[in-house]
Amino acid sequence: PQLTSVDLASAAASPSAVSADALLQRYSAALTGVFGTPQAVLVRGSGARVWDAEGKEYLDLLGGIAVNALGHAHPLISSVISSQQATLGHISNLFTSPTQIALAEKLLALAEAPAGSSVFFANSGSEANEAALKAVLRHRKESGKPRILALEGSFHGRTTGALSLTHKPAYREPFGELLPGVEFLPFNDLPALESAFEQGGVAGLFLEPIQGEAGVLPLDDAYLGRARELTRAHGALLVLDEVQTGVGRTGEWFRYQAVGGGVVPDLMTLAKGLGSGFPIGALICFGRQASTLLGAGQHGTTFGGNPPATAAALATLHAIESGGILENVRTVGAQLASALRAHPQVRQVRQFGLHIGADLDIPGIEAPAKELVTIARQRHGLIINATGEATLRLAPPLNLTAEEAAEAVERLTAALAELTGLTPEAAG
Ligand code: PMP
């Protein structure tokens, strides 16, 4: 007989029926609580939908926060992972496997990386950024340039090095002093960027082409272009964190490819959607020089790049490429954005493929996005997310259909109507 994960969980539970409340109580007792109280106990997913322990269905327009690139329980990903696991599961990094090599080659081809480029596989976005940071630290040591630049509003992860590059004071301050030498520049501010480089001594610059956690805020093309010129002219490394924007999220394979003037980074980090939910991150080193920064013995990981993870990522890239998914991302993203813009309560929409932020303005409601997220989930079966008090974020599966998008918009309209006390028609 086949054991499901739910069977396994209830085998560990008391023999009586397990209610969602009881599970949440056990969660609070057994887990650290760093994530607060979970919104629900989820037991099953399929495509853009998930079901909770009480059987309630939700349309998931967050996709594991930009991770479930092909939706939940995608048949190809599931079968590739299980057959790879049944053939050859984990091996150490004393060895390699065909899927690891093929994935590295595929990523380099999609990124149009020059000869001599190379890939390091990690297990998450933070870990990919730790690897990038170590490459920059190595350059810092060798060049004697002490400064590392990042931007206000940045999010690069919560491990110590990545946190040193993450701006939000609430995430940093409880931990006191982090990595010395990191400076934060104001977002999208060209004169500030120019003067930071004029002062000299910059070893590296970390940028998210679009700041996701800050509310889907894009850097201007001109800013990215100038960042490339300045880093090159001053012998500094340009690191693009495409953990959230990479692998098709914005309707291009990687966001930097949409930037005018051909901004190519020295280092780029990926994770999130790369394995369609199977944990994998990657650092791409562009060209021979960047590739030498993490040479033999300079870095390591036990799990990174193992066969099931690299098979899941290869299958993800294959499905995106062969299924016309980038085109889908652009059209369904535009559909969602125009439906959002039709609502009088939506002040501004920033849409890049299926990477969407929407600012709400509802007189008399202080944190409209946060309240809307709760109403949408509890009463309308819609999973969305708030970044800050007033900004909604949508990051659905890249294969979300036009019909699913329309259904999500109906649920969102009903939730907005409820929040503002209007009928759905009056809400837009
Ligand atoms: N960089 C960016 C741009 C991210 O959005 C995130 C996750 N929100 C991370 C890094 C960290 O990734 P992970 O949670 O996989 O460590």
Q: How many CA atoms lie within 13 A of 349 on its CB side?
A: 21
Pocket test for ligand 1, best of 35, 154, 244 (most atoms within 8 A of CB): 244
- Does any ligand 1 atom lie closer than 6 A to the CB of residue 155? yes
Nearest to 71 by CA among 378, 281, 311, 323: 323
- Does any ligand 1 atom lie closer than 6 A to the CB of residue 353? no
Could you count the other beta carbons within 10 Å of the beta carbon of residue 157? 25
Query: Structurally, what CATH architecture does the domain formed by 86-294+301-320 represent?
Result: 3-Layer(aba) Sandwich (3.40)
pLDDT at 422: 75
- Does any ligand 1 atom lie closer than 6 A to the CB of residue 242? no
Which atom number of ligand 1 is nearest to the Cα of residue 281?
Answer: 15
pLDDT tens digits for 38-83? 999 999 999 999 999 989 999 999 999 999 999 999 999 999 999 9
pLDDT tens digits for 182-191? 999 999 999 9
Is residue 14's pLDDT more than 70? no
Say how many Å lie between the CA of residue 243 and the centre of ligand 1.
Answer: 6
Mean pLDDT, the chain, whole residue set? 95
Residue percentage of the chain with pLDDT more than 70: 96
Per-residue pLDDT averaged across 11-16, rounded?
52
pLDDT tens digits for 210-269? 999 999 999 999 999 999 999 999 999 999 999 999 999 999 999 999 998 779 999 999
Instruction: Please tell me the distance from the alpha carbon of residue 345 to that of residue 333, in angstroms, as a whole number.
Output: 19
pLDDT at 12: 58
Is residue 15's pLDDT more than 50? no
pLDDT at 299: 96
Taking the model in full, what pTM does it have? 0.96
Nearest to 368 by CA among 427, 319, 328: 427
Say how many Å lie between the CA of residue 354 and the centre of ligand 1.
Answer: 17
Is residue 394's pLDDT more than 90? yes
Pocket test for ligand 1, best of 187, 219, 267, 272 (most atoms within 8 A of CB): 272
